[in-house]
Chain A
């Protein structure tokens, strides 16, 4: 842990989910700074246009209006400035196809939105505390889907 708060960016169109996410992050005993956007376009605008520093980890919902989350994942991974940011897919979907596709397009981890608030806290804690730089070298498909 260093002195800087972990910069977290959430892209989710669902207000409830953003509320749960914010509460869960707040409830974690970690120094974090959370920025939330409501869609993919806002996400890209924030990443590329704002003066703000780039986030350490992006939580990306797949099912958003307009462009699909996966498309933005591709964009991020294709952008030289953004490609090193850790991306956690954060979705209700448990479909094989979505998981597979996320993996292929370069997400670091896939999180099924949990049913229980406590579970959510646990998952987020796990994700945030992961040293992605280290994990990147050895991550594989089996450990891709994070379950609590």
Chain B
């Protein structure tokens, strides 16, 4: 913007000088004009006086002449003439006196002349009627004095005239002198004034030109200002204290909800727009103007004409303008948009905070922590939970890779740095397990994942940790348990050994000794002793069978890895082969379906089949040919429900049905319990272990066995088991 500075003082001074000069010249001119006309008048008067004096002198001379004529002629007619002449003298004197009232010297001389004249007149009047002849002497002296008088008056008049002329001349020469100086002065002054005016005009011209330019800039600025106001959603006002006149900017009208210049702004109107609650605020803010020179920035709610609420920020300042006048300038800014934006931002912010919290919470719940590295900013960040995992409060120390490495167990450091370090730009590394020693000296196990993200020109490394201490401990505990288990398995093995060797050995010896006694030639045994020996042998046999059965029961409980894909038909056949002599003996009829191939422990299944079939043979009815039916059946709905982890095609169901003595259904569960027997041992031999072994075998195969019995009709044993029991977690 062009600075508009007008040389006002200079112009003022020159103008004042010019005016003074012109005034001076005018007054001088006037004065000169006045003095000129006066001297003109004086001259005229002087001439008049001279004429009058001349006339007076003439009148005196004529009187003298008349008087002389009287004396000479002594004619009385001439006396009349004298009086006539004498009458002319006095008015002349009066006239002169009148003209020379301001000239006391002339007056004095006139007075003297009058006196002389009066004396003469008196003298003449006395002597006019005397007879000239007789009064010769008198006349003579009279004539002499007359001549002297005329002479005197003449002298006096002469004197006056000379004096007048002299004065006149003097004045005229003075005036001439003045007239000689004036034109030069006048010219100079006029020229100077002209110069001043020209300068003034030029200054004014440039000023105007500048002003026009400034005005244009001002107009542009005004437009820019209005635009800026609209864009910044602000408005301004100003007012002069005392004048009560307030001016609003265009946009202020809009801010307040009005068309620009649709009303005459006033403080009252302004106040009316502000909501009632905020008015005291506004007024108290205004009061600070005087004391502090500005108001604090306050936020006001206003009510627009259409009843909407708006929030405006308000601030005012007391200024001094160029002229030293006070001016209050106020600014209003529409905060509605900012508030909306702020609200949105706050909402987003709180959303983000919430998410962050959720993340933090999730991190700590999941026992996961991470650090990131921004390659651009070269900046590490540890997640809160990573600090916690290290035994610190969040942001306890400045994060860095080397700092983290310090916590790693010394044996695991190299591997970590090689795979996870910044130098390794390969993506997606995983370490199953590193050990860290946290701030409290606790050893923790972490699994580590590394990933590098390239996004929006920024490259970020993220290394994430999962605390697997618990898993590791559980695994360790499990390993310990396994060890214990394998130990107890070993113990079981030794029990097997005991059962198979140590328990059997005494029995075998008893048997051998009995056989030696029996076969002894030199023993004359009584029938009683032979009977006793036989009873001993039966008891020992039974004991031996019990031991063998218990041994197979314990072998059935053995957790075996010997699952193999086996053909059940083959297993059934070898079971039947094993039982061949019994079957022959009882002449049993055995019908069986085609059986599927399944993944099982085959020797256990052979035992299972043997036990079930031999059971059927054992509990057959006397004199009735046993018929055993082995069927491969479909599962019923209820049976399927017992195996929720398998579908129908994955399960096998086989039933063993006989026509034996059966049993009461109430005993259906009891029969599977170890050493439980339903029948008299004498009638039906058995150790009460066989079905318990069956149950155990099915348990090993994640299957189940159950029995249905009808006394004197028969029993039905059902086994259900999955085709592949392994690789299923429960």
Contacts and interface: CB of A to CB of B under 8 A. Distances in A.
Given A93-B497, A93-B500, A95-B496, A115 B511 contact: yes
B512 A120 contact: yes
Given A92-B504, A94-B500, A95-B500, A116 B511 contact: yes
B513 to A, nearest CB: 8
Contacts of A98: 500
B505 A14 contact: yes
A16 B501 contact: no
Nearest to B520: A117
A139 interface: no
B498 to A, nearest CB: 10
Chain B interface size range: 10 to 19
B591 interface: no
B213 interface: no
Interface string B496-535: 1100111011011101100110010000000000000000
A74 interface: no
B516 A113 contact: no
A16 to B, nearest CB: 5
A102 interface: no
Nearest to B505: A92
Contacts of B519: 117-118
A36 B232 CA distance: 119
B52 to A, nearest CB: 192
A98 B519 CA distance: 32
B11 to A, nearest CB: 133
Given A14-B505, A16-B509, A92-B508, A117 B500 contact: no
A99 to B, nearest CB: 11
B515 A116 contact: yes
B515 to A, nearest CB: 4
A118 B505 contact: no
Contacts of A23: 516
A94 B547 CA distance: 12
A95 B497 contact: yes
Contacts of B509: 16-17
Interface in A89-138: 91-95, 98, 113-118, 120
A20 B504 contact: no
B554 to A, nearest CB: 11
Contacts of B500: 92-95, 98
B23 to A, nearest CB: 150
A115 B502 CA distance: 14
Contacts of A120: 512
Contacts of B504: 92, 94
Nearest to B511: A115
A116 B501 contact: no
A45 to B, nearest CB: 25
B537 to A, nearest CB: 9
Contacts of A95: 496-497, 500-501
Nearest to B548: A94
| Best-surrounded residue of A23, A93, A115, A120 (most CB of chain B within 10 A) | A115
A94 B496 CA distance: 10
A120 B511 CA distance: 12
B533 to A, nearest CB: 13
A116 B512 contact: yes
Interface in A42-100: 63, 91-95, 98
Contact of A63 (B496, B501, B507): B501
B511 to A, nearest CB: 4
A23 B515 CA distance: 13
Contacts of A16: 509
A93 B497 CA distance: 7
B516 A117 contact: yes
Given A93-B501, A115-B507, A116-B512, 7 more contacts: A23-B516, A91-B501, A113-B505, A117-B512, A117-B516, A118-B515, A120-B512
User: Closest 7 interchain pairs by CB?
Assistant: A115-B511, A116-B515, A93-B501, A117-B515, A95-B500, A92-B505, A92-B501
8 contacts: A23-B516, A113-B508, A114-B508, A115-B512, A117-B515, A117-B516, A117-B519, A118-B515
